[in-house]
Amino acid sequence: MPAVETATGLVRRARKIDRVLAQTYPDARCELDFDNPFELLVVTVLSAQTTDKRVNAVRPTLFAAYPDPAAMAAADRAHLEQILGPLGFFRAKAESLLKLSAVLVEQYAGQVPPRLDDLVKLPGVGRKTANVVLGNAFGIPGITVDTHFGRLARRFGWTEQTDPVKVEHAVGALFPPRDWTMLSHHLIWHGRRVCHARRPACGACPVARWCPAYGEGPTDAAEAAKLVKTEGRA
């Protein structure tokens, strides 16, 4: 990388990284299972402080019992907590789902609103969750700034911001909106599999040549290969 990168150079490098990550992870997608916007909203809320694998494991039981906002709003709290038990923080999560479902019934006729401003007003829903739902359930472009996305955006030198909203806006300015949702998947998949927080697998990274942070982790190919995870949040 040049010592001083122009704005145009930054855009070109950022988009090159995304193109390579798209080729590296052709199956990149939301790793939470869902069949409709309500399910995606719920499982995304539940994914906080646990793994996608655990959320996916309880999903069939949860939605068999409470398939829509009306059913979930009327759920027996004890039964709901029992289903959510394996996820941890099950009491708080049950409370969030009961309130969330009630608001959907009372204010949105039991439908998940396809608008950011409405989604972030729902109990337990922030911009990250809202953008997951918009991008993956409604096809509306959104950038999902989770811990992986923020870490990689800074390592790639796309932004120095740490506030998720500022990261979202800074990175969004480098890409056309049509790319935002898949860009989020590419970075999150790469962060879960290769560009780890503590020991990134630099020597096995497909975008190492364009990364200012190259060398933060092992650069030896064999050593780095041992750090690569074949799955995301197991």
Catalytic residues: 128, 146
Alpha-carbon dihedral sign for residues 206, 208, 209, 211: positive
Cβ neighbours of residue 75 closer than 8 Å, sequence gap 6 or more: 65, 66, 97, 98, 101
User: DSSP labels for 143-156?
Assistant: ----HHHHHHHHHT
Distance CA(59)–CA(33), nearest Å, equals 8
Distance CA(154)–CA(190), nearest Å, equals 14
Distance CA(100)–CA(16), nearest Å, equals 40
Distance CA(42)–CA(112), nearest Å, equals 10
Is residue 68 within a helix (H) or strand (E), and if so which, with residue range?
none
